[in-house]
Amino acid sequence: MALPQVKQTATEERLNALTLPEGGWSAVARADALARVRAMGLPNARDEYWKFTRPQTLVQAYVPNAPVFETDEAPVFKDVDRLKIVFVDGVFDADASDDLSAVENVSITRLAEGGDIHWASALYGTLEARGQDPVDRPLAALNTAFATDGVLVHATGVVSRPISFIYLQNSDASDAILHHCVKVDAGCEVTILESGPAAARYNTCLETDIADNATLHHVRTQGRDHDRRAATANFARLGKESTFKSFTLTANGVLTRNETVIELTGDDAVAHVAGACIGDGDFHHDDTVFVTHDAVNCESRQVFKKVLRNGATGVFQGKILVKEGAQKTDGYQISQSLLLDEDSQFLAKPELEIYADDVACSHGSTSGAIDDEGLFYLRSRGVPEGAATDLLTLAFLAEAVEEIEDETLAEEIGGLIETWLMRRRG
Amino acid sequence: MLEIKNLHVSLEEEDKQILKGVDLTVEAGKVHAIMGPNGSGKSTLSYVLSGRDGYEVTDGEATLEGEDILEMEPEERAAAGLFLAFQYPVEIPGVSNNVFLRTALNAQRKARDEEEMSAGDFLKTIRAKSKSLKIDADMLKRPVNVGFSGGEKKRNEILQMAMLEPKMCILDETDSGLDVDAMKLVSEGVNALRDEGRGFLVITHYQRLLDHIKPDVVHIMADGRIVKTGGPELALEVENNGYADILAEVA
Ligand SMILES: Nc1ncnc2c1ncn2[C@@H]1O[C@H](COP(=O)(O)OP(=O)(O)O)[C@@H](O)[C@H]1O
Ligand SMILES: [Mg+2]
């Protein structure tokens, strides 16, 4: 089916502004992805899947200016013993990064390193392509085609230190496209961390293939760079009895679209995806999640919490699809917003689609104001209004933060939220 | 300590007067009790003094150690030494008792330009004080009042009072929902805080609590006014004859 002319023109305009990287082993996947982009067209405001979020500035060739965010805040995860891999405006910084071979039980290479044969050639673009059905995700296909770099992680044992992707921004007009692949072999375990402002605009894609009995933890922070625009897509495929736990904290950012696509393909697998976000002012944050149950006795959990004020907008589109035969599915989804004023809004579209009869799925979505009774109780004990509001905000976000299994990381995130709330209060 | 003069209070939302000229002075070192039928305005008085929204003071004044408290924010009143043990303590999911109390204590200290209490000292102090109220460490780690029984909530109010060491304590029906043992624990907690420099205003519907916390002065409140004031014997009179006789007498 031919694309509408407007869409085709917009798509070609963007494609013309990009150069297809020398592919090496990824060339075939990139060519396929480019064909997918051309067939789907890049998103526009008329697409159902972009009903709540305007994709224009994520799609257009021109990158709206985003001043580099100056802060004296300590780097996120600084007290975590991790392997650091640093990208500045999407470009690998070898000097700032650790030796990629410094951790045992894992092989780490970079997408831009090229070479001829690579284990990642079986993964690169594969989960992204699978994730295009039943909903188009053209920005992710664009990423596969044009990613300039990324990290390829192959865990072949229990990896003792988290692998930490650190993003830094140096230019007001940078446009970064990074694509990471993580393959966790059967019975193996690894933790991936992501943090920092990547660029004025960035598009990141993370494909994670989790084999039987394997575990992948993913903890990510986005913020507090005010003017950046981000589109991210995480694709996870889970084997038998495997575990995937992903958490994202977002603060500020004028536009963020985080897509998570999870496919439970082995029996008894567990996938949790959670997000906490703090939006203030000109802020639009969109969590779009699609979980497919295609095996027996799997568990999925989606826990999303947003605190919004001064006209901030939060979006949640979450779907649980239970395929035929995926009996004993336990699917849970909750999305909640705390609206600190009447200018802010939360738009939620929770969906269940179930083709098996023996399943337990629940979803809920709420929007609420701060609890006046609780606020007065705290103030009557001497806690000033601002601090009391922060404490209640922290408590509200806690349910999402609790999804982080590792206590050190959970504390790190909790502390970060506290700092960010306090900063906002001044 | 606490001086209330000619206090008139209406509801903000609807044009309804609740307190119709309350006069009351609680001296340092004394325990005053307020008794009265349901709906007479006892809780309203305690809320207005602690600064809850929704009420409008149309006339009169209230001072704590000479300072006008009605102009202050609730947190400023707390830092000035006022404490209300709530009739219905509020549940705060996601905030542990420990965090709640340490935040409150240090916020008050900061407001008074005092040094904050270290985490270590705080834990030591709260452990000692919670022990006598039979509140265990596990309860302190749980979210404020969430899943607590009625008695646990009231004991928790007294623990907060003991930790914050206010100058003026208002207790609003702290006895309601308590069994005999809990009543004893709570009363002992209150009595342990009785001190030369501290005033108490104990609001109760029944005489029972006053067997344990012996008041110096008893006031009867009806329809937004203090209608009678006397010694502890007044509470006994209420216990034996109910409010009807007293109300008829002052009508
Ligand atoms: N926020 C409110 N909204 C409506 N009515 C109220 C409110 N607060 C108090 N009242 C009314 O004021 C009167 C006094 O209530 P209250 O102070 O709770 O009495 P008490 O504590 O003595 O039982 C009652 O008639 C009650 O219904
Ligand atoms: Mg009452």
Report pLDDT for A133.
Answer: 93
Sheet of B82-85: strand order equals B82-85, B168-172, B199-204, B31-35, B217-222, B225-230
Average pLDDT over residues A55-82: 91
B88 Cβ below 6 A of ligand 1: no
For B63-81, b/e burial (b = at least 16 CB within 10 A) is ebeeeebbebebbbbbbbb
CA torsion sign for A387, A388, A389, A391 is: positive
Task: Count CB neighbours of A419 within 10 A.
Answer: 14
In tens, the pLDDT along B3-37 reads 999 999 999 888 899 999 999 999 999 999 999 98
Q: Helix H segments across chain B? A: 42-50, 74-80, 97-111, 119-132, 137-141, 150-164, 180-193, 208-212, 233-241, 243-250
pLDDT at A80 over 70: yes
pLDDT at A73 over 90: no
Report pLDDT for B185.
Answer: 86
Q: Specify the pairing of strand B217-222 against strand B225-230.
A: antiparallel
Nearest chain B CA: its distance from A387 CA (Å): 9
- Confidence at B180, pLDDT banded by 50, 70, 90: confident
Cβ atoms of A339 and A311 closer than 8 Å: no
Average pLDDT over residues A88-108: 96
Q: Cα torsion at A413, A415, A421, A423 (round to 10°)? A: -120
Residues in chain A with CB shorter than 8 Å from the CB of B50 are 380
B130 Cβ below 6 A of ligand 1: no
Largest CA distance in chain A: 68
B46 Cβ below 6 A of ligand 1: no
In tens, the pLDDT along A125-177 reads 999 999 999 999 999 999 999 999 999 999 999 999 999 999 999 999 999 99
Q: Mean pLDDT score of chain B, rounded to an integer?
A: 91
Q: Looking at the partner chain, which of B86, B107, B143 has a beta carbon nearest the beta carbon of A382?
A: B107
Q: Which two tokens stand for residue A116?
A: 């001829």
Rounded CA gap, A255 and A245, in Å?
24
Q: Mean pLDDT score of chain A, rounded to an integer?
A: 95
3-class DSSP assignment, residue B222: strand
Report pLDDT for A70.
Answer: 82
If you write DSSP's letter for every residue of B160-208 in order, what string do you get?
HHHHH--SEEEEESTTTT--HHHHHHHHHHHHHH--TT-EEEEEESSSH
Could you tell me which of A185, A223, A285 has the C-alpha nearest to residue A71? Answer: A223
Q: Specify the pairing of strand A151-155 against strand A106-110.
A: antiparallel
Rounded CA gap, A297 and A10, in Å?
44
Q: Which two tokens stand for residue A113?
A: 């390193």
Report pLDDT for B137.
Answer: 85
A383 touches chain B (CB under 8 A): yes
**Cα-flanking dihedrals φ and ψ of residue A280, to 5°?**
-135, 120
A391 touches chain B (CB under 8 A): yes
- Confidence at A426, pLDDT banded by 50, 70, 90: low
Q: Is A358 exposed, middle or buried (0-12, 13-18, 19+ CB in 10 A)?
A: exposed
Decide if B52 and A376 are in contact by the 8 Å CB cutoff. yes
Nearest chain B CA: its distance from A377 CA (Å): 7
Task: Tell which B residues from 125 to 154 touch A, by Cβ distance under 8 Å.
Answer: 143-144
Q: Looking at the partner chain, which of A373, A381, A387 has a beta carbon nearest the beta carbon of B160?
A: A381
Task: Tell which B residues from 158 to 197 touch A, by Cβ distance under 8 Å.
Answer: 160, 164
Average pLDDT over residues A299-309: 96
In tens, the pLDDT along B151-172 reads 889 999 999 999 999 999 999 9
A384 touches chain B (CB under 8 A): yes
Nearest chain A CA: its distance from B231 CA (Å): 30
A301 touches chain B (CB under 8 A): no
* B197 Cα–ligand 1 center, Å: 31
Rounded CA gap, B83 and A381, in Å?
7
A410 touches chain B (CB under 8 A): no
Q: Which residue has the tokens 């204590």?
A: B105
- Confidence at A1, pLDDT banded by 50, 70, 90: low
In tens, the pLDDT along A172-199 reads 999 999 999 999 999 999 999 999 988 9
Cβ atoms of A58 and A255 closer than 8 Å: yes
The percentage of chain B sitting over the pLDDT mark of 90, rounded to a whole number, equals: 67
Report pLDDT for B205.
Answer: 81
Q: Omega into A224 within 30° of 0, i.e. cis?
A: yes
| ipTM here | 0.95
Say which range, A2-16, A268-282, B109-123, B228-242, has the weakest mean pLDDT. Answer: B228-242
Decide if B107 and A383 are in contact by the 8 Å CB cutoff. yes
H or E segment at B82? strand B82-85
Q: Which two tokens stand for residue A126?
A: 């594969």
Decide if B53 and A382 are in contact by the 8 Å CB cutoff. no
Decide if B92 and A378 are in contact by the 8 Å CB cutoff. yes
Residue A251's DSSP bridge partners are A278
Report pLDDT for B211.
Answer: 87
Report pLDDT for A71.
Answer: 79
Residues in chain B with CB shorter than 8 Å from the CB of A385 are 73, 75
Average pLDDT over residues B96-121: 93
Average pLDDT over residues A233-247: 98
Say which range, A257-261, A333-337, B61-65, B96-100, has the weakest mean pLDDT. Answer: B96-100
Rounded CA gap, A380 and B83, in Å?
7
Average pLDDT over residues A70-83: 88
Decide if B75 and A377 are in contact by the 8 Å CB cutoff. no
Q: How many CB pairs under 8 A join A and B?
A: 81
Could you tell me which of A286, A247, A252, A257 has the C-alpha nearest to residue A404? Answer: A247
Residues in chain A with CB shorter than 8 Å from the CB of B144 are 377
Q: Which two tokens stand for residue A318?
A: 């979450």
pLDDT at A268 over 90: yes
